[in-house]
């Protein structure tokens, strides 16, 4: 079978389940991970072994049940690296890559920064910062033991130095030295927004990492920003990934806590997605 024929087979099989953009991405992930097809081989329409066709059929059945491809193959791409993922952790997303990219640009040229990430998940944020920043001291906390196990394995496989620990940020205080940066992508999806979400998120990704109650959607942000007032060094920076519908509320809350230079930044789709502030 030719590589383009395989690509079209996968895309045709998923029509009506995912949109055109998602289907193209899923097809490429399967071809790369299951059939070991390179981009150059796809361009040249090289011959592909059909040995893995039974595996493909199983994957397609699972995809048609809305199971995310990242959980099926057990990994997700983030900032040029592969991270192990399973249903204990959220699948890393492009918006979070934008958050990391902003931090790296803002802090470019600085060495030995003390960084705390709150809500480790797969570890994609703290691991990427540890690998991309020079001599940074990166720590990360999460309430979920299962998520921390995934994050630790990712750090080990990517040879990143990150100190992970289990902590309930709403009820405990991180034991850290004064920090240059606090970064967090906490739960921020309100219950009322569930109807807008795709089944592959609702049915498979961890609710603990996604949802907050409608009556207090800023609960995690408020707690982290309050802690930041004592944990951050002078001129220390706060970075949040935020709910696109709550940008103004976030800005007012952080300003009222005494932070300066508070900015709400839009993602590549024009949605309020990142908040940055200085103490």
Q: Are strands 179-184 and 81-84 parallel, antiparallel or unpaired?
A: unpaired
Write out the H or E segment, with its range, that includes residue 46: none
Low-confidence ranges of the chain (pLDDT < 70): none
| Residue 188 burial (C-beta neighbours within 10 Å; 0-12, 13-18, 19+) | buried
pLDDT of 112 reads 96
Beta bridge mates, 82: 77
pLDDT of 36 reads 93
- pLDDT tens track for 102-127: 999 999 999 999 999 999 999 999 99
d(CA 250, CA 18): 32
- pLDDT tens track for 184-232: 999 999 999 998 898 889 999 999 999 999 999 999 999 999 999 999 9
pLDDT of 17 reads 87
d(CA 114, CA 141): 14
pLDDT of 77 reads 96
pLDDT of 126 reads 99
pLDDT of 195 reads 85
What does the DSSP assignment read for 113-153?
Answer: -EEEEE--TTSHHHHHHHHHSBT-EEEEEES-HHHHHHHHH
Contacts of 46 (CB under 8 A, 6+ apart): 2, 3, 37
pLDDT of 2 reads 94
């Amino acid at each position: 079978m030719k590589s383009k024929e395989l690509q079209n087979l996968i895309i045709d099989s998923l029509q009506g389940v995912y949109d055109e953009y998602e289907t193209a991405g899923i097809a490429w992930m399967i071809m790369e991970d299951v059939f070991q097809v390179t981009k150059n081989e796809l361009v040249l329409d090289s011959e592909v072994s059909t040995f893995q066709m039974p595996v493909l059929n199983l994957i397609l059945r699972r995809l048609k049940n809305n199971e995310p491809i990242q959980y099926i193959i057990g990994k997700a791409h983030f900032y040029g690296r592969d991270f192990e993922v399973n249903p204990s952790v959220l699948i890393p997303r492009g918006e979070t890559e934008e958050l990391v990219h902003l931090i790296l640009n803002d802090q470019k040229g600085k060495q030995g920064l003390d960084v705390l990430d709150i809500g480790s998940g797969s570890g994609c944020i703290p691991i990427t910062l540890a690998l991309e920043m020079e001599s940074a001291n990166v720590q990360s906390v999460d309430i979920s033991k299962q998520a921390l196990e995934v994050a630790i394995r990712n750090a080990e496989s990517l040879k990143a130095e990150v100190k992970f620990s289990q902590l309930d940020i709403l009820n405990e205080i991180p034991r850290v030295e004064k920090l240059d940066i606090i970064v967090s992508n906490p739960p921020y999806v309100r219950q009322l927004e569930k109807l807008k979400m795709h089944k592959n998120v609702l049915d498979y990704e961890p609710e603990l990492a996604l949802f907050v109650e409608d009556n207090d959607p800023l609960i995690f942000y408020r707690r982290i920003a309050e802690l930041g007032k004592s944990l951050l060094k002078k001129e220390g920076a706060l970075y949040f990934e935020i709910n696109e519908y709550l940008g103004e509320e976030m800005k007012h809350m952080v300003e009222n806590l005494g932070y300066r230079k508070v900015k709400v930044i839009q993602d590549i789709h024009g949605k309020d997605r990142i908040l940055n502030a200085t103490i």
